[in-house]
Structure 1
Amino acid sequence: MTLPGEGMGGIGDAFVLSCYEDIERVVKNPERFTPVMSLMVEEMQAAVDKGDTPQQDTSRFDLALDSVRTLRPNQKLWRAHRQELTDPWVGPGARRHRQMITQIVDELIDDWISRKDGDGKGTVEFIQEFARLLPQRVTARILGLPFTDITRLANWGSAQVMQYVYGQGHLNILNDSQMSQQAEDLSGFADYLSDQVASKRANPQDDMISDLTRIHYKALDRKLTDGEVYGIVYFMVLGGLETTQYALEQQAQLLCDQPRLFATLKANPEKIRAFTEEAMRLRAPTQGLSTRLTTQQEVFQGVEVPAGSVLHLRFAAGNVDPKHYECPYELNLERKSLGNHLTFSQGPRTCPGAGISRQEQLIAWERLLERLSSLEYGEGNTFEHQPGIMLGTLTLNLKFRAEPR
């Protein structure tokens, strides 16, 4: 699909890719299909080369982007950044948090599992009382931030993703008023994180921020600056609070839509991982993003795409591409290569927090299925969703029956 005149800065066209094979080809080759962020980093570096100092007078996102410029301006350093700085905490190393996540999940369930109405069932507003709180608390614990600050972190997180909810067009553009509101909503975030980084440097604990203040980054043979630690934490908050929430709430709806599935998973907990992967394939939290540019003329599905064109990658469509998946709209717990969906992207730029998100989802449903004997829709659901590119239900009332203890 062609979007005439919707290229970067209104120059050229944009193209929507919806086939699995096309999206896979693009995301696995960042040299040929340049990430938009790489272009932004190049522009920032050019400004620095001219003598500008973007870290002194700019927005919070530019401060975070400046850490990308200094820590991972190319693919080699992007890989090192992941391996050394984020993988041990939220990538493959996320398994270290299993006990902590389990404790948080059980604490959240404890807050509402004793409720009962006349028919012996309880009710819970699943989003505000579970799906939203779980990634917030897990992220805070990993970073070493107090739970008492979660409300502020959540507000800042919502401000960070404002363009993906209210932005116009595939480039998620905010108008001047919205940009001013976003800046106001983010007020205090940079100072808060700066204070946290300084505190961790002075009194390190067993958490990610403390680790980042102490680590010797082998790829550059030096320690990280405060601004670089800030940038890493900024992107952790940006990616860690919202998407896992959306995945959990969609999984709950799938279980309510297919009552036999709840019984199957309860009797076969070894299939829970397959369930979470299939649910992410069917209900991708991030439906699509305009994240890549062509560096040469390309052809997708017989359509010629000029060099310099913006590519909008429709992950959700690729995840149900009938040319790639047999019976694509069926939730199949026996499907092969369950994790090869596009929800976390693929290739060298895959989501760095995929590991922690998968752990949260897996443990959440292990404990919920262990502690509940039934789950169904409650009263008053409208199934309204927020606007934008993310699949976020606004409220979700559920009824449940607790297992006897």
Structure 2
Amino acid sequence: MAKRPAMGPALTVLIVVLGTAAQPLATDLYLAALPAIRHEYGAPVGVVQLTLSVLVFSFGLSQLFWGPASDRFGRRPVFMTGFALNAAGALIGALAPGIEVLIAARVLQGLGIAATMVCARALVRDLFEQQRGTHVMTVAMSALACMTMLVPVAGAGLTEALGWRSTLLAMVLFGLGSLALVALRVPETAHALRPDALRLAPLFVVYGRIARHPTFGSWTLLNAFGYAANFGFFSGSAYLFIETFAVSRVAFGLVIGGASVAYLLGTFLCRRWIAVSGILGTVRRAGWLALAAAAAFLGPELAQAHNAFTLAGALWLMLLAYGIYQPCGHVGMATPFPQQAGAASALGGFIFAVAAFASGTALGFMFQSGSTTALSLTTGLLSACSGLTCITLLQRHGLPAMAPLQKGIP
């Protein structure tokens, strides 16, 4: 077999971007289509929301399998399987005759997205130590933000011009193109495959040991709060902006695209601040920004003064903070576990997704037409929790020694 070319820096960043882009693409490209799906199928808001929530839940739950699978079989085959499943789920969803089939198709997409996300995070841990890995992750997240800032606008344009099913067909093309790139250009990055990585008893021991580590818990809690706040806002905001505030689909896409711009600025600040203040100083500053975003959500809501502009401003401030602390969290949670980076990434991703599923599902069923209350209060409180985690727990537990390898535990 011919030796595959080594990954240069540009290819590494590109693969991390594609692996992590599958999830925001599956949500942001689709957001402006939610009201159209609701009208076509005549389904309640809470049921339509399930097309987002079940994707995130299957994405989170299946990471518990994909992480160890990537340690057992390698990053490359799991990457390829993930992109294939994502494309297959998107194609079934595009052809769905009813809401039930669409929901099932989104579950399949979630399975594929989980595989690519786990491998993207583990790949960074395979190749770099924490500080360098955080830098690489922020470069990738900056590139991802540049890519995704146009995705909501593109989704709105596709929905207006070709109908909501075209957004899923675009996801099919993304999955197939990414699959081809991995097949042709990506070598295996795992240092050594672990034949026993999928054995259940040792696996649960590993997950338990990871979960008890204070550094893992602190970074994971931070990103879980941030991810739940973002997902909750994105999943519920289309109805408010488009139906309540009478904002056009394209204008709503610009609001979500503006959030990507704010996130991009956050990743730039992350790289700059890490060089000056280190990781803990960086997340401390991000924590204060997250608390300011919480105030921007909660203050106008308590004064019953929210409108499209105040909600957009609060969202953008929250995404600025998220762009600073999220890359640190993705690397930080796996740092203590150099031999189980896939498992650590998987467990963290599962926790993120459960938090997002709870947030999105609750908001879907609490939504009242014309009211900003559920969205503003839920998002504001979650943003406040992320800010407090930055300035408390992470200042104590953010920089660990490596977790010791234990005899008899893989």
- TM-score (normalizing by structure 2): 0.30
Bigger strand fraction: 1
Find the structure with the greater CA-based Rg.
Answer: 1
Normalising by structure 1, we get a TM-score of 0.30
